[in-house]
Amino acid sequence: MEVNVEAEKQAIIKDYRQLLRLARPRMKKGDDKRIRHAFELAVDAHKHMRRKSGEPYIHHPIAVAKIVAGDMGLGTTSVICALLHDTVEDTDLTIDDVKKEFGNTAAKIIDGLTKISKISHQTESIQAENYRKILLTLSDDIRVILIKIADRLHNMRTLDGQSRKNQLKIASETIYLYAPLAHRLGLYSIKGELEDLAMKYTESEKYKEIAKALESTKKDRTKYINDFVRPLQEEMDKSGLKANVFGRPKSISSIWNKMRKKEVEFDDVYDKFAIRVILDSAQENEKADCWRAYSIVTDKYSPQPNRMRDWISHPKGNGYESLHTTVMGSGGQWVEVQIRSQRMDEVAEKGLAAHYKYKENKFKAANSAEEAIESWLMQVREFLKNPDVNPIEFINDFKLQLYQKEIYIFTPKGELKILPATATALDFAYTVHTNVGDNCIGAKVNNKLVPISHELKNGDQVEIITSRKQKPSEDWLNIVTTSRAKSKIKNSLREEKRRIADDGKEILERKLSQIKANFSNDNINLLTNLYKMPSSMDLLYGIAKGTINLTELKQLRNVGGALEIIKPEKIGKPKDEEVFYKTEDNNGDIPKNAELVIFDESSKFPYEFAKCCNAIPGDDVIGFISINGVIKIHRTGCPNVINLASKYGYRIIKTRWTAKTTPAFLTTVKLTGLDDIGVISKLTTIISGEMKLNMQSISLETNEGIFEGIIKVFVKDNEQVNKLISKLKSIHGIDSVIREEI
């Protein structure tokens, strides 16, 4: 295809000028020249590179820089690093070149971004370790992870050019790590877009369905919002408050999550939009003005008592500040209203970056909200830098806390601590100090004595009781929920284990001396394999505790101080897992670029349907190669496969349905409605009579005139399921009918 060089050049210049407009509010004298220099270097470095879409590669770093400047509000150094973020990885430009042209800070950030890019996707532990390396950038400069999130956002926006396998792998990683991380860093707008884009590829049919429904109801929704907002805006103006009142649609993914959580249809989700009241207030008047606005809203519309949230008095751990209330609008519709100042709104949109000001090339906390974030980052850094942490355990613990709700706990002197909603007294003890946690024997919560496992509630005042005789035990890991507490307990247990292992070392030295063998690394490694222990320390610990009997030394012979196994075929045989995980390009016996056609008799690959999501013909599906080489068929939106694909992306296999006749599949339909006479007869008439479907079972439970039912029925494909659902919904008194989700 012929390339119009001049047209491409003009498009690049136009893109660059848009970037400058976004960056200008934070530019200082001379910054425009520095950005121009970085742009020219990037253009030259990427001049022979193109994206899979065919466009010049330079559009990608410019787009990332635009997100960094516009969506995140970062400054010139971050813009420069975004422009150059792929150069060291993909071109001849070096870190030393960057340091020479732009200084140590820019070089350090780009070096961090380059390390993240060097990710291979082989085993779960390697992938988890890669995630850990990504998060380790929090220790160096938070801008690394912010630019990486911007990079991921643009990649998600341009994912159409990738293969289906890569789309699912990248989307799964995004849901697994990047969207939760954006949430925790307060990048709510970016988090919502990442989740929507991931859903577009993992649950494409449902995404299109909700998008279409939103578009078709847009006119009515706009009218409702305008009617709701008008009297509020008038009252705000009369009161002297400088307020902008408007409605904003909720994301497609958040609507879908509500539909799944509450098991309702699109029409039954009431909060498809939120009303925002953004106040132009001086910082010293923000709180008072927000509460005045709240008073106006609740005077005009009746509030729901249990749906009020005050994140102004106590901001979230990521610095989010806002008043939320849900009020009754016209037509009996509940409406969420969010009230905050312009500064608070910028924080809500741009997250962590909006909290910080650059001082001497470092991020410095400016107020209590920033201190809460800095406190969290310090905990993350502390946990990440522990060299002994298991990467899989770490990423699972860390991810759990990214979305957790928070509670506010007070020390005896009134100091505020922010903890996850499930935190215990022992978790609180470790937030005070490691020694306080290690020696904790109980607590007083609101002056009442409680055990260390007591789950704390929002607003509790906690005093920790300690004893020097107390020390951590293994079961403490089941009590705590925070990563910090788990890390500290594991460190203490590890130290205790090392102390006991030293006793085991003395025992083993004596035993080896008796058979005239050396206490050497080679002999220790041989014994570790012989006893199938995960490490030499576990071997020595087991010897000291008496769980390892050294009689197996009789299986060995001493050759000049070195031990040898008499029957080598019984020792060191690789496990199936080790054989399977040979290389990224070798998934056992299944070629890397293979395609599975379900129900195609010529297919040579063993497969079975995953029971967690019960895929049926017509569903968008994904094949996943299990440890024994059998391909498991999942629906692409299945949370289990998203979790697996984010860790083992290389084990995804392209999968599609054959066009041939397929057998009947068992699927489950859930329904609710009014308990009316003859409801079962009406159901069976449609299922067995009209649609000629075979039922495995039908069960209904009634409670005070309302029934909930489960029908298990054999169908040919998802089109038949959708037709069945449509027919069942038409029965008078039926409230909702859904195909059971995972």
125-167 per-position pLDDT tens digit: 445 555 665 666 555 677 888 898 999 999 999 998 888 888 8
Q: Look at residue 537 and tell me whether its pLDDT is greater than 60.
A: yes
Helices and strands per DSSP (H, E), number in the chain: 29, 23
pLDDT band at 588 (very low <50, low <70, confident <90, very high): very low
pLDDT at 441 over 60: yes
347: tokens are: 């924080």
Helix extents (H) in 118-276 = 124-140, 142-157, 164-173, 179-184, 188-202, 204-216, 218-239, 252-262
Between 107 and 185, residue with greater pLDDT: 107
Whether pLDDT at 347 is above 90: no
Task: Output the CA–CA distances (angstroms, integers) from residue 409 to 79, 252, 377, 459, 621, in the order listed.
Answer: 39, 34, 19, 5, 45
Q: Ranked by mean pLDDT, which of 110-119, 146-155, 486-495 comes out on top? A: 146-155
DSSP 85: T
Average pLDDT on 515-541 reads 83
Residue 237: its pLDDT value, please? 93
The yes-or-no verdict on residue 604 having pLDDT over 90 is no
> Would you please indicate which residues are annotated as catalytic (active-site) residues?
89-90
Q: Where in the chain is the domain with CATH 3.30.460.10?
A: 211-354
Q: What are phi and psi of 49, to 5 degrees?
A: -105, 145
Give residue 124's pLDDT: 44
Determine which of 307-311, 368-372, 408-412, 711-715 has the lowest per-residue pLDDT on average: 368-372
Of residues 377 and 241, which shows the higher confidence score? 241
**Partners of 139 in the beta sheet?**
none
pLDDT at position 646 is 77
Give the rounded percent of residues in the chain with a pLDDT score beyond 90: 30
**pLDDT score, position 700:** 86
- What's the pLDDT at 34? 93
pLDDT at 93 (0 to 100): 85
CATH superfamily of 665-739: ACT domain (3.30.70.260)
**Residue 693 per-residue DSSP state:** P
What is the C-alpha separation between 306 and 389, in angstroms, rounded?
41
- Taking residues 538-542, report their average pLDDT: 87
Who has greater pLDDT, 670 or 518?
Answer: 670
585-608: b or e for each residue (b if 16 or more CB lie within 10 Å)? Answer: eebbebeeebebbbeeeeeebebe
> The domain 211-354 belongs to what CATH superfamily?
Beta Polymerase, domain 2 (3.30.460.10)
Per-residue pLDDT at 560 exceeds 90 = no
Closest CA to 194 of 250, 249, 251, 247: 251
Which carries the bigger pLDDT value, residue 490 or residue 380?
490
- In the chain, the amino acid numbered 698 is I
pLDDT in tens, 162-218: 888 888 888 988 888 888 888 877 788 899 999 999 999 999 989 999 999 999 888
- The size of the chain, in residues, is 742
- CB-based contacts of 344, cutoff 8 Å, min separation 6: 286, 312, 321, 322
Three-state SS at 423: coil
- CATH 1.10.3210.10 spans which residues of the chain? 5-161
What confidence score (pLDDT) does residue 378 get? 62
Q: What is the DSSP string of 268-310?
A: G---SEEEEEEE---GGGHHHHHHHHHHHHHHHSPBPGGG-EE
Fold of 368-375+390-490: Ubiquitin-like (UB roll) (3.10.20)
Q: Residue 226 above 90 pLDDT?
A: yes
Q: Give per-residue pLDDT as tens, 619-671.
A: 888 888 887 788 899 988 888 888 888 777 778 888 888 877 667 888 999 99
Confidence of residue 73 (pLDDT cuts 50, 70, 90): confident
Whether 121 has a pLDDT exceeding 50, the answer reads: no
Q: 5-161 has which fold?
A: Hypothetical protein af1432 (1.10.3210)
CA angle 190, 196, 202 (to 5 degrees): 135
Give the pLDDT of residue 13.
93
- In a 13 Å sphere around the CA of 1, the CA atoms on its Cβ side amount to 6
Give 721 or 564, the one with higher predicted confidence: 721
Domain span(s) for CATH 3.30.70.260 in the chain: 665-739
Q: Are the C-beta atoms of 720 and 740 separated by less than 8 Å?
A: no
Q: Alpha helix locations (H) across 301-351?
A: 342-350
What's the gap between Cα 28 and its chain centre? 36
Q: Are 651 and 623 in contact (CB under 8 A)?
A: no
> What's the whole-number average pLDDT of the chain?
82
Task: Tell me the CA end-to-end span of the chain in Å, nearest whole number.
Answer: 46
**What pLDDT shows up at residue 62?**
95
Give residue 575's pLDDT band: very low, low, confident or very high (50, 70, 90): very low
Higher-confidence position of 668 and 395: 668
Q: Mean of the pLDDT values across residues 88-100?
A: 86
Percent of the chain at pLDDT exceeding 70: 84
The pLDDT value given to residue 359: 31
- pLDDT at 371 (0 to 100): 56
**What is the structure's pLDDT at 252?**
92
Helices 639-647, 124-140: axis angle to 10 degrees equals 80
- More confident position, 96 or 553: 96
Q: Which of 35-39, 361-365, 675-679 has the highest mean pLDDT?
A: 35-39
